[in-house]
Homo-oligomer: A and B are copies of this chain.
Amino acid sequence: MPKAKPQSKPGARGAAPPLFDPAFRARLCDLLAWRRDVRRFRSDPLPEADFEALLDLACLAPSVGHSQPWRFVRVDDPTRRAAVIADFERCNAEALADYDGPRRRLYAGLKLSGLQEAPLHLAVFADETTASGAGLGRRTMPETLRYSAVLAVHTLWLAARARGLGLGWVSILDPEEIAACLEVPAGWRFIAYLCLGYPVEEHVDPELERHGWQGRDAACRRVLQR
């Protein structure tokens, strides 16, 4: 039976490796199935302690050469938030204009971000100038540095969901505009803009599936044998 406490303090050396039982695996399966990209948020803030805990966990993400290149930018300033929202609206209008007919009507009806409602805005960058990792593992695949920041986003996402918090990843943005608006150091590559907060509703099926945009694609589950 699972104990109420972790078998080890995460990060403590010399602790016994944990054994994960079928009950935990079943719950992990639930977590993955019910994760969701959230666009409908309640306005009440998430507790600061939860936010700090999420960042601690995100930093446990894998990274190429242990380079830990993810960088977090919390956006609270109303003027900057308004600029991000304006950039989203412009990019989203341009995206809409690319569609025709029924697709266009469908796209226009989708809610694609919770930027207006989400109590917490968090931008994630990859520091492409970091000396950490000393280049290990990314000589032939420099993109793995950016992939490492993506792994931190996913870690944060799952940890948030386990606390009943929703996360929405907004990519309908101009990366250069966002980097300029947030005045980040040179060499930081924009990876993701995240909305965080308590979700209004919970679903096991993705928003885009439920609203008829895109169903499950069998191609992704096939395995090529070589």
Given the interface contacts A33-B60, A143-B146, A226-B80, does A202 sit within 8 Å of B17 by beta carbon? yes
CB-defined contacts of A59 to chain B, threshold 8 Å: 216, 220-221
Contact of A30 among B10, B29, B182, B204 (CB under 8 A): B10
Interface residues of A, CB < 8 Å — how many?
Answer: 120
CA distance A158 to B159 in the complex (A): 12
Tell me whether B35 and A62 are in contact (CB under 8 A). yes
Identical chains bound together, number: 2
CA distance A171 to B174 in the complex (A): 29
The interface bits of chain A over 28-52 (1 if a CB of B lies within 8 angstroms of the residue's CB, else 0) are 1111111101000000000000000
CA distance A146 to B7 in the complex (A): 36
CB-defined contacts of A98 to chain B, threshold 8 Å: 135, 139
User: Which of A155, A159, A204 has the most CB atoms of chain B within a 10 A radius of its CB?
Assistant: A204
Tell me whether B31 and A20 are in contact (CB under 8 A). yes
Given the interface contacts A32-B60, A62-B35, does A4 sit within 8 Å of B20 by beta carbon? no
12 contacts between A and B (CB under 8 A): A2-B2, A4-B22, A11-B33, A17-B34, A59-B220, A65-B213, A66-B214, A69-B220, A74-B223, A136-B213, A139-B172, A152-B220
